[in-house]
Structure 1
């Protein structure tokens, strides 16, 4: 079975059943000890793109908006059997043309890595039909949506589990804020928590 390790803020690591290592928005916390096969960067703000934390395997693929969002087209790739589809991510502080989220399919598990975003039409039009297993949603209410809006997005998407991330600026995690996010299938992970997918 694959594993998911939450590092804190908007950063987490996924390891497939075959040992393929994927990092999402590297920046915070610990758990950068496994060399990467895939790195997913949602946008180029410094709290999402710290590649220097990661040792990359030979042939490591780094996906970022400039490589997977071209002329308004959200691209997809299959890497080591892992399907990665870029999807819209945007709000007043995040340009639609320079930010993406990802739907990652690992061992038949679908993970929605939202990046920094607020509500998007794509959530209703596409994600709600995707049978997402794990959705990661920011809840800081400053750079992104607040817990109430995130709860509405969680209801629209209908993932089996929704994990609140990206809480208070400068903090890896905020339990009090996380508890204010209310959604069916809510799963609160603290930094260094690891779950089996």
Structure 2
């Protein structure tokens, strides 16, 4: 099974069974020691795109929102051992054409990384996707807050909901994380790794 390391803020590292290492929105925390095979960036804000923070494996591929949206369409990437689908991410601080979320299919598990967003039209469709983990921002400043994120979680219907991007300039905020009032909440602390 793939492993997911929460690094803090909106930063995550996945390591698949075959050893493939994938970083999402590198910026915060620790755990940048493993060479990246793939790096995914949801948008170009400085707290999501430090793509040189870790060593790069030969042929490392960096995928940004510019790669993920073509002609207004969100693309799906089929790699040798995993799949990634780009989905909408937007709000008053983030343009629909400049931000994406990603749904990863890793070793049989689906992980939705929402990026910087509030409620999107696509979230209602995600209930059919049987998502295992949904990582939702809850800062309530540049993204939706905990109450709106709880409504999104109900729409998405993921087995587990993980609060991320909790407060500007902070890796983690326990009080804010606990404000996400959903029955399937899973709070991860920076540096905590789980098996998906």
**Is the TM-score greater than 0.5?**
yes
Correspondence for 1:157: 156
Aligned pairs for 1:1-197 (under 5 A) are: 1-124=1-124, 126-197=125-196
Q: Once the 2 structures are TM-superposed, how far is the Cα of residue 54 of structure 1 from its aligned partner?
A: 1.7
SS in 2 for 1:148: helix
With normalisation by structure 1, the TM-score equals 0.98
SS in 2 for 1:164: strand
Could you tell me whether the CA contact under 8 Å between 1:155 and 1:184 is conserved in 2? no
Residue by residue, what CA displacement relative to the aligned partner does 1:10-63 show, whole Å, maximum 9, x if unpaired?
A: 001011111111100000000000101111100000000001202111111111
Taking the aligned partners of 2:77 and 2:59, their CA distance within structure 1 comes to 14
With normalisation by structure 2, the TM-score equals 0.98
Q: Once the 2 structures are TM-superposed, how far is the Cα of residue 80 of structure 1 from its aligned partner?
A: 3.0
Taking the aligned partners of 1:154 and 1:160, their CA distance within structure 2 comes to 10
Give the superposed CA RMSD: 0.7
SS in 1 for 2:52: helix
Taking the aligned partners of 1:76 and 1:99, their CA distance within structure 2 comes to 15
Q: What 5-or-longer segments of structure 1 have no aligned partner?
A: none
What is the total number of aligned residue pairs between the two structures? 196
Q: Once the 2 structures are TM-superposed, how far is the Cα of residue 81 of structure 1 from its aligned partner?
A: 1.3
Taking the aligned partners of 2:183 and 2:130, their CA distance within structure 1 comes to 14
Taking the aligned partners of 1:184 and 1:42, their CA distance within structure 2 comes to 27
Q: Once the 2 structures are TM-superposed, how far is the Cα of residue 184 of structure 1 from its aligned partner?
A: 2.4
Taking the aligned partners of 1:181 and 1:67, their CA distance within structure 2 comes to 32
Q: What 5-or-longer segments of structure 2 have no aligned partner?
A: none
Stretches (4+) displaced over 2 A = none
Taking the aligned partners of 1:167 and 1:181, their CA distance within structure 2 comes to 10
SS in 1 for 2:77: strand
Q: Once the 2 structures are TM-superposed, how far is the Cα of residue 178 of structure 1 from its aligned partner?
A: 0.4
Taking the aligned partners of 2:132 and 2:94, their CA distance within structure 1 comes to 26
Taking the aligned partners of 2:36 and 2:80, their CA distance within structure 1 comes to 12
